[in-house]
Amino acid sequence: MTLSMYDSSVPTLRHMLMSLAAILEKAATHAASKKIDPSVFITARLFPDMFPLSRQVQIATDQAKGCAARLAGIDIPKFEDNETTFAELQARIAKTIAFLDSFTAEQIDGSEGRDIVLQLHEKRLEFKGKDYLFNWVLPNFYFHVTTAYNILRHHGVEIGKKDFLGG
């Protein structure tokens, strides 16, 4: 049986973005019920040299939309990275999910050997599609979704493994 690049990417990314959206909803509800300014959570970090929650969500969505676009060989939509509220983060996730939903398996399947080049500041990374998905996108995506979860859990939001895994 052949591994589908589409099935290995889009549904997985979409599922975890839905979980991230549900976690953010719980955080917003928690903030409201405890009368905590939501910006406390949006700007929260696990450690001073780490990105805040807002940036974790931005990077996770960037990984998801970049993955689908690069594997399909199309332009990546640009988002402003200016979200400062739960509603804005939710809108960003929704835009990303809508973008993922616009792809068909035919656009992504067969991209295992596609040349993927990332320019990260002064560093250039070159991948084939399969390695890009499994060795770059998925580890980075899960890192940032997990870090967003950990920031909220660390700050008292009552979430657990079931929330992370989603339904």
Say yes or no: domain 5-165 is CATH 3.20.20.370: no
Residuewise pLDDT in 10s, the chain (167 residues): 578 999 999 999 999 999 999 999 999 999 999 999 999 999 999 999 999 999 999 999 999 999 999 999 999 999 999 999 999 999 999 999 999 999 999 999 999 999 999 998 999 999 999 999 999 999 999 999 999 999 999 999 999 999 999 86
What confidence score (pLDDT) does residue 140 get? Answer: 98
Query: Three-state SS for 122?
Result: coil
74 contact partners, CB below 8 Å, separation of at least 6: 107
Residue keyed to tokens 């996770």:
60
Residue keyed to tokens 């290995």:
8
What confidence score (pLDDT) does residue 1 get? Answer: 57
Long-range contacts of 98-102, Cβ-Cβ distance < 8 Å, separation of 24 or more? 99/65, 99/68, 99/69, 100/10, 100/13, 100/14, 100/17, 100/64, 100/65, 100/68, 101/14
What confidence score (pLDDT) does residue 2 get? Answer: 78
